[in-house]
Amino acid sequence: MRCAVVGHVEWVEFARVPWMPSPGEIVHAERVWEEPAGGGAVVARQLALLAGRCELFTALGDDALGRDSATRLAGLGIDVHVKWGGTTRRAWTHVDGAGERTITVLGDKLLPAGPLPLDGYDLVFFVAGEPEALQSARRARFVAATARELSTLTQADIELDLLVASANDPGERYDGSLRVRHIVSTDGVNGGTLDGSPYTASPADRIVDTYGAGDSFAATLAFALARGDDPRSATELAARAGAAVIGGAGPYESQLAFRA
């Protein structure tokens, strides 16, 4: 399958801490690391592992972090198409002893703009971008998107094959206003629903870091539906992908790999 992602990238500094500090408290990080992440990058890497390759249409600052991001993502098997300009957005992520991640974002999200050359793709996953970029994505056979970009989805006014929403994140709730073939509503360890039918979450062998689990679930669900899997098989594979990420540090260490 020929896959592409339209989305944002941010340079993330991770710190593993025994617990999240309370106001005024000081905690010492047990491990620190950094790399490009954000929804666009995580979805693209997961699709690259599933399909063999994936293209990412994104925007990066014309700075050292932007160039380092492009190099690192290429090393992860992603074909990166960059609109350069501005300042690369950064983020701080604390991962506590239970694996929960807490994120502080620094700077504005840099958005890829259209039109984009997306004719002939089997799957395009829209994570973030300008409305014209999303309209370009509709030339693909299957288009997935996240409800976090509801305003952009409304402006673009296209039909989606899959919308990824959340049952408990206010920023990812869906109000029923779009034309959508499939709707998944995720609910963490409780599973969720696809087109109203419940699915169960896969248990993780160990919980190290939850960063990227939701994006990897969404990417895998879109991949499975786009290649023709039935809904039950698609949610089972996606749940395995989400659980796999939790077993490693950061979004890329233990993502599910599968060759179509």
pLDDT in tens, 37-81: 999 999 999 999 999 999 999 999 999 999 999 999 999 999 999
Assigned domain for 254 exists: no
Quick one: what percent of the chain has pLDDT higher than 90? Answer: 92
Assigned domain for 260 exists: no
Assigned domain for 192 exists: yes
Measured CA distances, 152 to 126, 207, 248 (Å): 10, 34, 33
Q: What is the mean pLDDT of residues 85-112?
A: 96
Residue 206's Cβ-side half-sphere holds a number of Cα atoms within 13 Å equal to: 6
Q: What is the mean pLDDT of residues 146-173?
A: 93
CB 10 within 8 A of CB 35: no
Lookup result for tokens 């870091």: 209
Residue 242 has pLDDT above 80, yes or no: yes
Assigned domain for 259 exists: no
pTM (predicted TM-score): 0.95
Measured CA distances, 208 to 126, 219, 250 (Å): 28, 21, 9
Nearest Cα residue to 5 out of 161, 131, 133 = 133
Check residue 259 and give its pLDDT: 54
Beta strands in the chain (DSSP E): 3-6, 10-16, 31-37, 54-60, 78-84, 90-95, 101-106, 123-126, 143-146, 160-166, 180-186, 192-194, 197-199
Number of domains in the chain: 1
Assigned domain for 258 exists: no
Structural domain range at position 238: 3-246
User: Which CATH number belongs to the domain containing residue 12 in this structure?
Assistant: 3.40.1190.20
| Confidence band, pLDDT 50/70/90 cuts, at residue 173 | confident
Span of 30-39, 199-208, 251-260 with lowest mean pLDDT: 251-260
The structure tokens listed for 119 are 């004719």
Q: Which phi and psi (to 5°) does residue 218 adopt?
A: -65, -45
Check residue 204 and give its pLDDT: 85
Check residue 172 and give its pLDDT: 86
